[in-house]
Chains A and B, each alone.
Chain A
């Protein structure tokens, strides 16, 4: 059993939870994820790691209560326990393997869409601990849904909020903002890390290809075990089949077949669930990408 030691509502239907998981807290690295099973009859839910504290023995997750399982998860309170909490899964972000000298002059831009800010945070924080200040665009539908701004500001270089409706920060798409920063303000980036709704990541990679900036994306496909066993999470990367759970979740965004990935994400959506899904997509505040709502 894995006890919940902290819980807060950080945006409408969006929760931050700290969970006691000693082993995972010691081994977690930026870019990895965990799987939670709430109870005996529950499914295995993959969630990105937002923070970890080896001293306290806790791992933090951020999730949106949008589906049946996550809505149920939102009802768990401090003191309650999840039956299973396993991780860290997936490979750590590429830069965690690089040496200090390789890293020190690197200009990194993170683009976080909606709850994508959660997996972005530990990466920016990790870089900050190595003395590297990364820039971050945090995009969301509106001000209310923008998360982790303060946390990210504390560890990042420039932070650029962007909202679809202009209620906060830049008004418009994260892609337009990136374009402006690079083309009009003369910002230079060696690498862009984009994490958010699939459609946002797709359009970021289209733009960065034009701009000639290497781009890493984090895939979040359907999976069961998360250890390489079921193959449900397969993604085409550069024409090859990769398993997001063990080969990823982070891949070279310019090689990912996003259309296939988006199609595969719908496998278990029945007609009824599809409607629910569309509603939640509109509500997730993730994608500041007009194309995605067509």
Chain B
């Protein structure tokens, strides 16, 4: 065995998976997991752990995988995270734990994410009981939003004995895990539902169909329902549009709409009433993970799909793995191209995307080379659907209905870095609602941090 090389993992063949919504990656077998775990150097001073937003004892669980003690492995992970099967699939490990793996200097980093996923899946398949019983302390905490931030915060507080109620606006708990990330990356019924059930087993109650800011306000939760602290993990759900002419033509959608119809409402499945309608040729504008998700969803719904991105491949904000998978499946990348107008026919349906060519200039604040328009480079991409995937911002519903809750120019809730405490007493926040669109694991980290701060504040 070459210690510098990763144990290969099975995936559905690109041509096959491009026509279905089944998971792309098939995961390690027990034997493969043990071989891969064997590559870990079990560093005395593990750099991987320092890069994990929830500080999982990575080498410790990997050693248990190596010796085949999978139940011990999951118990080690669950001290820090209740969502191993989720995070093993969607974390950007290459820029976190795996990014600092010593093996990565000369060869390939240990496949920490794939091992975490293996452990989570094994635990599910073998029905490992991870519910801990603690004596209740009779203190009530409300969590707004059942996405990664809210689930992490709620889980930790429940473990400490708090009575936790999560209020979820949609009909299904999970937030971005259910409405945003597609089935082929993160299976809903098996993986997401199961890990949420595990959090419920810790005693967390989830009330769906409650829109805080509309159905009830933060102040009412504190004053009328007796919650002693509130954690806001309402995410960043508001889609952005470009503000170019033709954006309201029939056939222009936000990535959120296509993903919500497909993932949450299951429009791709027979028997579900919600429609999803895409044309033969689809342009997805944007280069992030959500753009890749929307593009690969459109492909599976039968369209020819182009990613239209204004910078070059090196600047694509999406994870490398996602870009790689998208290319394998046949997504066409139109790079250094920026739309200036959506074109339509006399009935108001999209016919094309008028674009300009771009070239890269000096680096901007983000450190990425900024795109500059090439003079006289206008051209038209013939398209009948355009999906805008330009990022999202926090929903102002809560901030606009909660007196004393301060937000910044980007509509993000302002918090104390260390505790997640907002400008309003008893109210904490974390995740995308604070940072703007980021990752599942950063949101979980923020949820855990706030849980700790809430516990300290309520323990007098």
Interface residues of A (CB under 8 A from B): 23-24, 27, 37, 41-44, 68-69, 83-89, 224-225, 227-232, 234, 236, 241, 246, 260, 263-264, 266-268
Contacts and interface: CB of A to CB of B under 8 A. Distances in A.
A236 B238 CA distance: 17
Contacts of B247: 241
Contacts of A86: 169, 171, 209-211, 215
B455 interface: no
A37 B171 CA distance: 9
Contacts of A263: 250, 347-348
A232 B272 contact: no
Nearest to B258: A230
Contacts of B237: 227-229
Nearest to B169: A227
Interface stretch (B11-19, B122-130, B273-281, B360-368): B273-281
B274 A224 contact: yes
Interface residues of B, number: 40
B273 A264 contact: no
A27 B171 CA distance: 19
Contact of B397 (A85, A87, A228): A228
Contacts of B261: 224, 230
A232 B257 CA distance: 7
B271 A41 contact: yes
B439 interface: no
Question: Which of B171, B208, B253, B396 has most A Cβ within 10 Å?
Answer: B171
Nearest to A246: B397
B209 A85 contact: yes
Contacts of A27: 214-216
Nearest to A234: B248
A45 B278 CA distance: 21
Contacts of B266: 41
Contacts of B395: 227-229, 246
Interface in B166-180: 169-171, 179
Contacts of B254: 230-232
A15 B321 CA distance: 52
Interface in B209-239: 209-211, 214-216, 237-239
A88 B396 CA distance: 16
A68 B275 CA distance: 12
Contacts of A69: 273
B427 to A, nearest CB: 19
Nearest to B347: A263
Interface string B235-263: 00111010100011011011011001100
Contacts of B209: 84-86
Contact of A84 (B208, B239, B243, B273): B208
Given A24-B215, A41-B273, A241-B248, 18 more contacts: A23-B210, A23-B215, A41-B266, A42-B273, A44-B265, A44-B274, A85-B209, A224-B260, A224-B261, A225-B260, A228-B395, A230-B254, A230-B261, A231-B239, A231-B241, A241-B243, A246-B395, A260-B348
A246 B210 CA distance: 15
Nearest to B388: A231
A110 to B, nearest CB: 24
B171 A229 contact: no
Interface string B367-396: 000000000000000000000000000011
B242 to A, nearest CB: 10
Contacts of A230: 239, 254, 256-257, 260-261
13 contacts: A23-B210, A24-B215, A41-B273, A69-B273, A84-B209, A86-B215, A224-B265, A224-B274, A229-B260, A231-B239, A241-B243, A241-B248, A263-B348
A269 to B, nearest CB: 10
Contacts of B260: 224-225, 229-230
A229 B215 contact: no
A228 B274 CA distance: 18
Contacts of B239: 229-231
A232 B253 contact: yes
A263 B252 CA distance: 13
B257 A231 contact: yes
Question: Which of B169, B209, B260, B395 has most A Cβ within 10 Å?
Answer: B209
Across the A-B interface, give the 4 residue pairs with the lowest CB-CB distance, nearest first.
A230-B257, A231-B254, A86-B209, A43-B273
B250 A43 contact: no
Interface in B22-45: none
Contacts of A83: 171
A69 B179 CA distance: 22
B273 A68 contact: yes
Contacts of B265: 43-44, 224
Given A84-B209, A224-B260, A267 B277 contact: yes
B411 to A, nearest CB: 11
A43 B215 contact: no
Contact of A229 (B216, B250, B256): B256
A186 B439 CA distance: 62
B310 to A, nearest CB: 21
A259 to B, nearest CB: 8
Contacts of B256: 229-231
Contacts of B257: 224, 230-232
Nearest to B273: A43
Contacts of A24: 215
B229 to A, nearest CB: 21
Nearest to A259: B348
Nearest to A223: B257
Given A224-B260, A231-B254, A232-B257, A23 B272 contact: no
